[in-house]
A and B are shown apart, each in its own frame.
Chain A
Amino acid sequence: MDAATEERLLALIEDITGEPAIREERDIDLFEEGLFDSMAAIELLVALESEFGVSIAPTEVEREEMNTVNLIIERVGERL
């Protein structure tokens, strides 16, 4: 994934969580920290589809495989 796309993705996650620290803390479990819930997950999936053209069904990826910033970048990278 190129730097510009990664930056757009980080901006999106920051916007959904409302927490700038996610840019640094890329391996924390977003659900565990209370930064993400089912609603935030759906917001992310909808935005990924409309802004990145990446479509992921709600049960396609296990939560443990997409619960940190780095894992989200990885999952999106696989599909770009």
Chain B
Amino acid sequence: MNFYVDPAFFVLAAVAAVPAVVLGMREKPLFGYTLAVSAAFLVLLFVYDWMQGAFFALFLVLATVLFLWVQRLFAHDSPRAVPLYRIALAGTLAPLVVYKVAAVFDGNLLGFMGISYLTFKAVQVLIETRDGLIKDMSVVDYLAFLVFFTPFTSGPIMRSRPFVERAHAPLPRPEYADGLATGILRFLLGAVYKFVFAALCSWAQWFVPEVIGSGSLLHSFGSEVAIAFFYGLYLFFDFAGYSLMAIGLAAAFGVDVPRNFNMPFLSVDIKDFWNRWHITLSHWLRDFVFMRFSRACMQRKLFKSRTTTACMGYLLNMTIMGFWHGITIDYVAYGFYHGALLALCELFQKTKFYRAHKSARWLKAVSWGVTMIAVFIGFSLFSGQISRLVLGG
């Protein structure tokens, strides 16, 4: 059963939400019930593909063992805690890396639906255990965090500490009811985004007349631009719609899933864009890749200037994002491209010209226009449209 696609999912989700609402409105703990529902949904997710199910179980065992090991190492202040933690980190990342590499050769090894998102969650717990922010997380809490079903397949990426905190402190009735009401609206809005707007954009995209090789150059350029435009809108409505449904459904279980999109098409620069588009992914990478990398560079004084450090950090951060999407020319180019855009943005914002005019309306307007063109070119890289045009095929 595909989440948020198969009609059965919606029916079962509605049925499962009813007891949750009854418990939530009576201020009863939802933790146990939510865990049971999540387990049932994951069984349904993998029931028709036992191999994926087996890979998922393997991942769960591996990640849990490594997490418990790391937590013990730091609890006992082991002198070898840091090097061993690195091994555990590599072990947690290994299934995702193997899966992505195997996909290059058209195979499925260790992969299952949700592996990319699950890996992020498991890695966050490990890193924060090393930082001393997570000390006594129980196995049950850890598993409940990993398997919580509404954002399981494609995010938004949650953080463990707010999840655990909320899980053990049932909300007062008015707050739960408020969250539920907003959640229902978000779920419905998400459904409209995905099943109406995204569907329309995808239809419009195919409705653009095929003129490649026949019409004038200008005409074929125009139709490619139209395809890129509708694809970008489709991507937004599809993913933002899915995210809203995952957030809305979670509210019934009293779980706060963070926002994933915040009007990305109003971004005035590319940094602004990444604070508005796939927010939980970009913030995860910001916190656990970019900030760690730039901190290490500064502590070791690897680069002379702050700006160079930032630019290298952006390139690394976004290239990793590209690889995370998949090891294909399109995804890696998409990641590197956004890294380069962020670096250029950083350089521009350090100029005297920018500092003198940054509040000017005209600059904001021009900057918005340039950002939107850059963003849609990015979508076009992501969709494979650009490599099709450049390489043919």
Is there an interface contact between A45 and B271, defined as CB atoms closer than 8 Å?
no
- Is B290 part of the binding interface, using a Cβ–Cβ cutoff of 8 Å? yes
Is the beta-carbon distance between A42 and B291 smaller than 8 angstroms? Answer: yes
Can you identify 8 A-B contacts, CB atoms within 8 angstroms?
A: A34-B349, A39-B313, A41-B291, A42-B298, A43-B306, A59-B159, A59-B287, A59-B288
> Is B132 at the interface (CB under 8 A from chain A)?
yes
Q: Please provide the chain B residues from 121 to 180 with a CB less than 8 Å away from any CB of chain A in the complex.
A: 128, 131-133, 159
* Residue B358 at the chain A interface, CB threshold 8 Å: yes
Which of chain B's residues has its CB closest to A39's CB? B310
Main secondary structure of the interface of B (DSSP, over half): helix
Residues of A within 8 A of B128 (CB): 57, 59
State how many angstroms separate the Cβ of A16 from the closest Cβ of chain B. 9
Asked if residues A43 and B287 are in contact (CB atoms below 8 Å), the reply is: no
A58 in contact with B306 (CB, 8 Å): no
Distance from B302 Cβ to chain A, minimum over Cβ atoms (Å): 12
B325 at the interface (CB under 8 A from A): no
Q: How far, in whole Å, are A46 and B310 apart by their CA atoms in the complex?
A: 14
The answer to the question of A64 belonging to the interface, with a C-beta cut-off of 8 Å to chain B, is no
CB-based contact A39/B294 at 8 Å: yes
- A33-53: CB near B (< 8 Å → 1, else 0) gives 010011101110110000000
Give residues 301-329 of B contacting A (CB, 8 Å): 306, 309-310, 313
Contacts of A78 in B (CB 8 A): none
- Which residues of A lie under 8 Å from residue B259 when comparing CB positions? none
- Tell me if B86 counts as interface (CB < 8 A to partner A): no
**What's the nearest-Cβ distance from chain A to residue B342, in Å?**
10
Residues from chain A with Cβ under 8 Å of B349 in the complex = 34
A60 at interface (Cβ–Cβ under 8 A)? yes
Given A46-B295, A46-B298, residue A38 in contact with residue B290 (CB < 8 A): yes
Bound form: Cα–Cα A38–B309 in Å: 12
Nearest opposing residue in chain A for B309, CB measure? A39
Q: Is there contact, CB below 8 Å, between B133 and A59?
A: yes
Tell me if B299 and A46 are in contact (CB < 8 A): yes
B72 within 8 A of A: no
A38-B290, A39-B309 given as contacts; is B298 within 8 A of A57 (CB)? no
CB-CB under 8 A from B287, the residues of chain A are 58-59
Beyond known contacts A46-B299, A57-B128, A57-B132: 12 more, CB 8 A cutoff: A34-B349, A38-B286, A39-B310, A39-B346, A42-B291, A46-B298, A57-B131, A57-B133, A58-B131, A58-B288, A58-B291, A58-B292
Find the residue from B287, B288, B298, B309 having the highest chain A CB count within 10 A: B298
**B131 and A60: CB pair below 8 A?**
yes
Contacts of B358 in A (CB 8 A): 34
A39 CA / B343 CA spacing, docked (Å): 12
Closest Cβ–Cβ distance, residue B312 to chain A (whole Å): 11
Q: Select which of A41, A43, A59 is within 8 A of B131 by beta carbon.
A: A59
The 9 closest A-B pairs by CB, nearest first: A57-B131, A58-B291, A39-B310, A46-B298, A42-B294, A59-B287, A42-B291, A42-B295, A38-B286
Interface residues of B in 19-61 (CB under 8 A from A): none
CA distance A38 to B311 in the complex (A): 12
Q: Which residues of A contact B159 (CB under 8 A)?
A: 59
In the complex, A57 Cα to B298 Cα: how many Å? 15
Q: Which of A38, A41, A43, A46 has the most CB of B within 10 A?
A: A38
